[in-house]
Structure 1
């Protein structure tokens, strides 16, 4: 009887794995979600910043717009791609073990494309607006984009030196990515996750505004520089290096001090997001199959498919082995 239960358990696990993998979003679907999500984030944040600049408003509305845009994008597309929308977040997830490195590279390319498309549409839409017209065609808008670009020294509101700008971007990005990784471990109240992440982004951008104009996101920084003066391109490197260092610190700290033995994410390619309706259906099917077997108390081992993006690092429970099931029956 124990031998029959072991066979039934293994067949259930295999069927679970096959169905989960078939329900996993394809790589192209995930990349498309990253393009659209980053577009929403950059379009909403930069658009609000432009309007606020024309009205002489503070940077708080712009920071809130970035945060709310991130909430919207995360809710809409987070279950498809994991809702990174930021190369720094992707790096932190890769170091912590939540996404394959090659897929992470694809994510970064998709994010940069999404940000560039958002900035391009804003530029093309506003280039003929009278408020941005100057004797040099497009010069007014180009100069205005320069006010949205990230910078240091003379291009910082507080004339922040380069090293200080790098330090504050590193620390702020580390905090932001840490929040994302921590939210990914929530096993209850997961609906609050996007709001926690969006609010943390808004708060950090409000703080960083006078220092560097608030980056935290290399894709957002890159989106602006092609539509303004050359100084922005010359200073762009810092707003890639600093956020990536901060994200790497967050990922290393998470992996080294938070993820415990037996809790570390496994590396299985093309993993499906967890807690989906399909996975709940799998649990129901598995219970029905085991109930019909001769094993009265045999438990179904958990799927060995590792999650890749959304809910990065939920704790894993080691599947019960055949020996454990056998001893329990005996």
Structure 2
């Protein structure tokens, strides 16, 4: 149960901190056509990275610090997680994410807003930033590739041959970079629980497009886990030294 509580609180903090920064910063940020929206993107990207970094050190030693169904499934494919814990982990993550979104919904005055990106929802085929939209295929490939590399970063940073003291920093900065790349494309998911939690309070396109933000990150994570396990991971210290 302590592992599940750790995943609940870790995912709650990710959604509350990351999505909360996007929701409330967007209410005071300049319009996208002013040319200053980049400050908002950088701030939100940092917020998501900091939520994972802080919780990785706070509860990562308890549960492994997944906070993301795609990460759990990717680590399962990479041999770093057990099948029996997979469904309970994902359930705890989704409940934590929805609880955080409910708190944000209340703080925001009981409204999620309208349109693409409202309430920090994910999207495709809609222009929000810089007047450019990205289609389903472009959004799918973005989410797939970024989640794949996220798993490679996670598995590499937490490898038994790596310096584990800095794993949280590498993972947090990795998620920051991911958001810098993809906020203008999909508002960045790479986390099905984070996408679900916001979509249920907005509905409409956010719900109808939600499938992509489950399928693409999960497939990318599984491939990333397999890549690290089969192409990069070694159990032989001598091989690394050579």
Whether the TM-score (by the shorter chain) exceeds 0.5 is yes
For 1:227, the equivalent position in structure 2 comes to 201
Of residues 152, 174, 183, the one that matches 2:124 is 152
Give secondary structure in 1 for the equivalent of 2:114.
Answer: helix
Give secondary structure in 1 for the equivalent of 2:126.
Answer: helix
For 1:103, the equivalent position in structure 2 comes to 85
Q: Structure 1 pair 155/225, CA: closer, same or farther in 2 (3 Å)?
A: farther
For 2:210, the equivalent position in structure 1 comes to 236
Q: Output the CA distance in 1 between the equivalents of 2:71 and 2:175.
A: 12
Q: Output the CA distance in 1 between the equivalents of 2:104 and 2:25.
A: 14
Of residues 104, 107, 126, the one that matches 2:108 is 126
Deviations along 1:175-200, whole A, 9 cap, x unmatched?
Answer: 11110000111546322110110001
Query: What is the CA distance between 1:219 and its match in structure 2?
Result: 0.7
- Which ranges in structure 2 are unaligned for 5 or more consecutive residues? 30-36, 238-242
For normalisation by structure 2, the TM-score amounts to 0.88
| Larger Rg, first or second structure (1 or 2) | 1
Q: Output the CA distance in 2 between the equivalents of 1:183 and 1:202.
A: 15
For 1:193, the equivalent position in structure 2 comes to 167
Q: Output the CA distance in 2 between the equivalents of 1:119 and 1:40.
A: 10
1:113 and 2:95 aligned: yes
Query: What is the CA distance between 1:259 and its match in structure 2?
Result: 3.1
Query: What is the CA distance between 1:155 and its match in structure 2?
Result: 5.7
1:38 and 2:11 aligned: yes
Q: Structure 1 pair 79/225, CA: closer, same or farther in 2 (3 Å)?
A: same
For 1:47, the equivalent position in structure 2 comes to 20
For 2:229, the equivalent position in structure 1 comes to 255
Q: Output the CA distance in 2 between the equivalents of 1:167 and 1:188.
A: 29
For 2:43, the equivalent position in structure 1 comes to 61
For 1:8, the equivalent position in structure 2 comes to none
Q: CA RMSD in A?
A: 1.8
* Residues 148, 220 of structure 2: 8 Å contact kept: yes
For 2:68, the equivalent position in structure 1 comes to 86
Q: Output the CA distance in 2 between the equivalents of 1:67 and 1:155.
A: 24
Q: Output the CA distance in 2 between the equivalents of 1:126 and 1:259.
A: 45
* Residues 146, 229 of structure 1: 8 Å contact kept: no
- Which ranges in structure 1 are unaligned for 5 or more consecutive residues? 1-27, 129-137, 264-314, 317-330
Query: What is the CA distance between 1:210 and its match in structure 2?
Result: 0.6
Q: Structure 1 pair 241/156, CA: closer, same or farther in 2 (3 Å)?
A: farther
Alignment of 1:6-45 (within 5 A): 28-45=1-18
Give secondary structure in 1 for the equivalent of 2:151.
Answer: helix
Q: Structure 1 pair 256/187, CA: closer, same or farther in 2 (3 Å)?
A: closer
